[in-house]
A and B are shown apart, each in its own frame.
Chain A
C-alpha cells in the first residue's frame, strides 16, 4: 500500500475516471426530467440524486411512483437494487483500506462506475485514485445534471445523440478486457453476460446485474470443491 503511484499512471487513471464521469453524469439529465415527469417535485428529484445516489435504485423508485405504485413499494424496489452495492463494497473495502469516517464517507460513493474504475487497479493507491476520481466526478456531475434535467426537462436533447450510452459500455469492456486472462475468467464473463441479458425482459433494472453475481458465487463455490482433496 506504501508504493508510490507513478505520476503518469496517476494522470491516466484520473483522466479515465473523468471520461466515465462525464459519460455517466450526463444521464442525470434524463433522471431529472423523468423524476419531474413522474410526479416528484424538483426538490424531491434532486434529493434523490444527492442522498440515494445509485442510478438504478433512483429510476426504480421514480418508475414505481410514476406507474401509480405505493411509495413504500417504490422504496423497496430501490433497496432491492441497491443490494449490489453491498457486493461492490465487499471487494472495495480491502482494496481501498479506509476506516472510520473516511470509510463512512466513501461508502456513499460506492456505485457501478466507481467500483468498475477501481477494482481492476494494480495497487491500493491506484484503486483509491480511480475510486475517488470516478466517485466524486459522477457525484458532482450527476447532481448538477439532475438539477438541470429537473428544471429544463428534456429540451436539452438526448445524451444518446452524442453516443454517451455506448461510451459507458465501451468503458466497461475496456476495464474487463485485461481480466479475461484465463479460461475460467472468460467463462464467468460469458455466463454472467448471458444470465444478465436473459433476465433483462423479465426483471426490473438492476436485477440482471445482481443475478450475474450469482454466477461468480456459484463458480467460486464449485472451484473449492474441485480443489479439495
Chain B
C-alpha cells in the first residue's frame, strides 16, 4: 500500500507539472492570462519568502508561525539589497546572520 501511494503521488505530481507546461500558447496570449503571468511570480515569491522564513512546527508537529534566526537573516538580506549587494552576497549574508545568531 505504501508503494502504491508513492507511485500514485509520483504519477499525479508529474502530470500536474506537465499539464501546466502544456497549456496552448493561444490561451497564454489572452490579456487576463498575461496579467496573471506578470503577477503570479510576484505573489508566489512573496508567499514562498513568508512561508520559508516564518513556518515552524508546534509541539505536536503541526505547522505554526515561528519567529527565529531566519527572520533576522531575511532582515540582513534586505539591508544587503538596499546596499545594492549582488545576489550571492545577499544569500550569504542571510545565511551567515542566521548561523551566527544560532551560535550565540
The residues of A with any CB-CB pair to B shorter than 8 Å are 12, 15-16, 19-20, 23, 39-40, 44, 47-48, 51-54, 57, 61, 63, 65, 71-72, 74-75, 78-79, 82-94, 103-104, 106-108, 110, 112, 115-116, 119-120, 160-177, 179-180, 184-185, 188-197, 200-201, 203-205, 208-209, 211-213, 215-217, 219-221, 223-224
Set of chain B residues within 8 Å of A179, measured between Cβ atoms: 41-42, 45
Tell me whether A165 and B52 are in contact (CB under 8 A). yes
Chain B residues with a Cβ closer than 8 Å to the other chain, count: 75
For the complex, what is the distance from the CA of A12 to the CA of B87, rounded to whole Å? 9
Whether the Cβ atoms of A201 and B64 lie closer than 8 Å is yes
The main secondary structure of chain A at its interface with chain B is: helix
Closest 6 CB pairs of A and B: A89-B20, A170-B94, A166-B73, A212-B47, A163-B99, A166-B98
Which B residues touch A61, using CB under 8 A? 5-6, 9
Report the minimum CB–CB distance from A206 to chain B (whole Å): 9
B46 touches A72 (CB 8 A): no
Q: Would you call the interface of chain B mostly helix, strand, loop, or mixed?
A: helix
Tell me if B59 is interfacial: C-beta within 8 Å of chain A. Answer: no
Question: Using a CB–CB distance below 8 Å, which chain B residues touch chain A?
Answer: 1-10, 12-14, 16-23, 25, 28, 31-33, 35-55, 61-65, 69-70, 72-74, 76-78, 81, 87-88, 90-100, 102
